[in-house]
Amino acid sequence: MLRMILAVWILAAAALADQPVEVRVVNASTGAGIPGVPLKFLQSGQFVYSGATDANGRFSIEAAKEGSYTVLYEAGKFWPVHDPPTVTLQVAGGADPLRLEIEMYQSGKISGRVLDAAGKPVPNASLGLQEIMPGGGMGLGFKADEKGEYSAVTRRPGPWILTATPPPSWPQPDPPTDSPGAQPLGWTETFYPGVTSFQLAAQFVVPPGGELRNLDIKLVAVPVRRVRGVVLDASGNPVPKVSVTVDGHARPSLHQDSRSDGTFDFASVVDGECRLSATADKDGVKLRAAQWVQAKGHDLENVELRLIPPFSIQGTIVMEAPEGATAPKLPGITVRSADMFSGFDSALPGIGFFEGAADGEAGFTIKNLYPGPYQILPSPPPAPYYLDSIRFGARDAAGSNVEILPGDLPLTVTYKLNGGTVRGAVEGCAAGQVVLIPQDPALHRDGFIRRTSCGQNGRFEITAVRPGEYYGLAVAAGNPAGPRLNDFSAGPLAVEFDQNLINQSVRITVRSNEATLADLHLIK
């Protein structure tokens, strides 16, 4: 009898370790359930449950195993209140269902036309939609149709800016007739409604599920400049018959081959900043030259493009373990070219991601780099380590665009253990975010900015924080002003924060191995 009772007790205890889970995904504006939203439950790096919501926006697990889960969700016609679209779920075991409600907003839409300076529609014009958010936000590219008309879905409300450029086949604008001998004109990247400056661009917000119509953008013509130069090899000798390209942010590219004496001459470069580049093959090795130049208000002469082969950099990861403890697994290191998200072909040499390959106990090598600006992307460390510094010798390399040159001192990435903790509670925070921003602008980038979502009763805790001075912010879910950090697919990792947010922040000092209580108010 005792054995039978013990067996029944063991079975009952095992059953209590499971718990039903009921998830409902709703439209945050209407409260209606959203069908067809894919859900994935991640635990210890593995997807253990998955499925999609039914016609009423519901999804259930009959008996989820006890433990902590990260729930991932996203749907194309809706955008998540949380950013990133994840939520943590703690299954404790029991007969009562664990209920989770996830709110999402319906995507908006914009439409309009692309016109030239005379008001004529521009067929097949290229358009770009850029979200104005800390870290760059979401970027979308699309084209106008044969009538010069366009429409695009905005997955978040914004604010957004809109840009347009004509197709390469579109005729160049006529020079002014009232000014004989005036500088020839060319089309440039134009910001809505018809300006050439990012600072003057009109920003707009699309309400959830709403549509903004008649956002017509009128292309602007500006003077063109002459850019002359020469392509040289590493020894300074002219290189003939090499393809040279002039391009810029979202502008149509210009191409020509260098002459027999290595020279090139572009007669119609749009006024402003542009990028000159050249590539060549020599004995199976890709040679490259590239530089940004200013052709604003004047012609450029004697520009030198010097072709060089790729090079490698060495580095070390410093990650000390406490005495007697097992050394942690070292994080990975990646560098990304700053040109990667500027509209340039990612297949070109020196543009893209470059992974560090281990070459010793804590050393690594990154190959196939060319001189230019890069972003150094250390992987997040295991708890309780934090990222402390990124350096080439004594030179700080934590910024978003770090110039990497042949012969640079080894790269050293240092992680430390003596981080502080910041904890507190924010009234009414619900699904909002708490963000710690270093007061040092050089550290306004992923890896040094820390964030978390508010838990039950608005409580939050961020551990392993790099000691220093911070701005503390609590931002309501869905607030367009809320800080968003990019993933690797969305542009620069440096983050520029609205000064209005900074003005509403709380100054926080984080000390080594100490906990700091922070009283934050919610920015709605």
Identify the architecture of domain 311-416 in CATH: Sandwich (2.60)
The predicted-structure confidence for 411-429, as pLDDT tens digits, reads as follows 999 999 999 999 998 888 7
Mean of pLDDT values over 254-261: 94
The whole-number pLDDT of residue 493 equals 39
Q: To the nearest 10°, report the CA torsion of 468, 471, 476, 482.
A: -100
CATH superfamily of 2-106: Immunoglobulins (2.60.40.10)
Question: Do residues 12 and 59 lie in contact, with contact meaning Cβ atoms separated by under 8 Å?
Answer: no
Of 92, 93, 85, 211, residue with least CA distance to 138: 85
- Residues 116 and 137: their CA atoms lie apart, in Å, by 28
Compute the half-sphere exposure of residue 441: CA atoms within 13 Å on the CB side of its CA: 5
Compute the half-sphere exposure of residue 476: CA atoms within 13 Å on the CB side of its CA: 9
The whole-number pLDDT of residue 251 equals 63
The predicted-structure confidence for 163-202, as pLDDT tens digits, reads as follows 999 998 888 888 766 666 677 888 888 999 999 888 899 9
| Intrachain domains 2-106 and 311-416 with the same fold | yes
Query: In angstroms, how far is CA 306 from the centroid of its own chain?
Result: 31
Higher pLDDT, 249 or 65: 65
Please state which CATH number belongs to domain 223-306.
2.60.40.10
The predicted-structure confidence for 71-106, as pLDDT tens digits, reads as follows 888 877 888 876 667 787 888 888 888 998 988 888
Q: What is the pTM of this model?
A: 0.67
Of 394, 391, 388, residue with least CA distance to 415: 388
**Residue 375's pLDDT band (cuts 50, 70, 90):** confident
Please compute Rg for the chain using Cα positions.
28
- 205 Cβ partners below 8 Å, 6+ apart? 157, 158, 159, 160, 480
| Bond from prior residue into 384 cis (ω within 30 degrees of 0) | yes
- 373 Cβ partners below 8 Å, 6+ apart? 337, 338, 339, 401, 402, 403, 404
> Pairing mode, if any, of strands 108-115 and 149-154?
antiparallel
Handedness of CA 399, 405, 409, 411 (dihedral sign): positive
Domain residues of the chain, as ranges?
2-106, 108-219, 223-306, 311-416, 420-523
Question: Do residues 480 and 158 lie in contact, with contact meaning Cβ atoms separated by under 8 Å?
Answer: yes
**Residue 457's pLDDT band (cuts 50, 70, 90):** confident
Question: Do residues 149 and 121 lie in contact, with contact meaning Cβ atoms separated by under 8 Å?
Answer: yes
Mean of pLDDT values over 217-241: 93
CATH 2.60.40.10 fits 420-523, yes or no: yes
Compute the half-sphere exposure of residue 78: CA atoms within 13 Å on the CB side of its CA: 25
CATH topology of domain 108-219: Immunoglobulin-like (2.60.40)
The predicted-structure confidence for 352-369, as pLDDT tens digits, reads as follows 788 888 887 789 999 999
E-assigned strand segments in 370-441: 372-378, 386-392, 395-396, 402-404, 411-416, 420-425, 433-438
The token duo for 136 is: 């760059």
